């Protein structure tokens, strides 16, 4: 499946999920966005970077799926993905990895809120704060390290 088809699929699914203004449609959009983001991320990454792109794709996909009406550029997504990868690979709790896109004016940061064990897996609760056109979004997610060293997003909360 080509990247172009995956991106079209992602946009179509998130558009359908956002047609209603109910809270349920936001959750559906978030889940479908996370799934689509995971697929896109896994196709973008190669070798050791594949795990990073897969985890980042899930997080970014959920944000886009839930907030489709917000304007977020590819460059914003690149910043968020990069900082999320840095947080996942850092053992320090509370350290902010900030980003600012001079093209769009959007900014934010990612940080580890806490670390914990879940069924012998190292896990992290991650906080992402994203400022888009003066609106601030806070996204909390839980990521657990897999046996192969990749990170899997197991829970997303607003």
Would you state the pLDDT for residue 151? Answer: 81
Would you state the pLDDT for residue 56? Answer: 72
Would you state the pLDDT for residue 146? Answer: 83
Would you state the pLDDT for residue 127? Answer: 92
* Rounded-to-integer distance, Cα 79 and Cα 21, Å: 29
Nearest to 153 by CA among 77, 70, 52: 52
Would you state the pLDDT for residue 114? Answer: 95
Give the model's confidence band at 49: pLDDT under 50 very low, under 70 low, under 90 confident, else very high: low
Residue 107 has pLDDT above 50, yes or no: yes
Residue with tokens 């970077």: 49
Residue 125 has pLDDT above 80, yes or no: yes
Would you state the pLDDT for residue 20? Answer: 43
Apex CA 156: angle with CA 55 and CA 139, to 5°? 95
Would you state the pLDDT for residue 115? Answer: 95
Mean pLDDT check: name the lowest of 64-68, 112-116, 117-121, 148-152.
64-68
Give the total number of structural domains in the chain.
1
Q: Which residues span the domain enclosing 53? A: 3-157
Enumerate the β-bridge partners of residue 142: 125, 155
Q: Find all residues with CB under 8 Å of 8, minimum gap 6, and list them.
A: none
Report CA Rg, the chain.
15
Would you state the pLDDT for residue 17? Answer: 47
């Amino acid at each position: 499946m080509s990247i172009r088809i995956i991106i079209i699929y992602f946009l179509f699914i998130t558009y359908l999920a956002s047609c209603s203004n109910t809270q349920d449609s936001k959750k559906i959009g978030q889940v479908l966005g996370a799934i689509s983001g995971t697929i896109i991320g896994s196709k973008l990454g190669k070798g050791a970077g594949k795990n990073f792109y897969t985890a980042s794709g899930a997080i970014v996909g959920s944000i886009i799926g839930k907030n489709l009406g917000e304007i977020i550029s590819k460059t914003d997504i690149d910043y968020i993905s990069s900082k999320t990868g840095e947080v996942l690979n850092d053992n320090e709790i509370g350290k902010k990895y900030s980003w600012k896109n001079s093209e769009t004016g959007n900014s934010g940061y990612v940080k580890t809120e806490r670390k914990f064990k879940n069924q012998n897996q190292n896990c992290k609760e991650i906080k992402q704060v994203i400022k888009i056109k003066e609106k601030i979004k806070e996204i909390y997610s839980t990521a657990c390290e897999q046996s192969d060293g990749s990170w899997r997003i197991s829970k997303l909360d607003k």
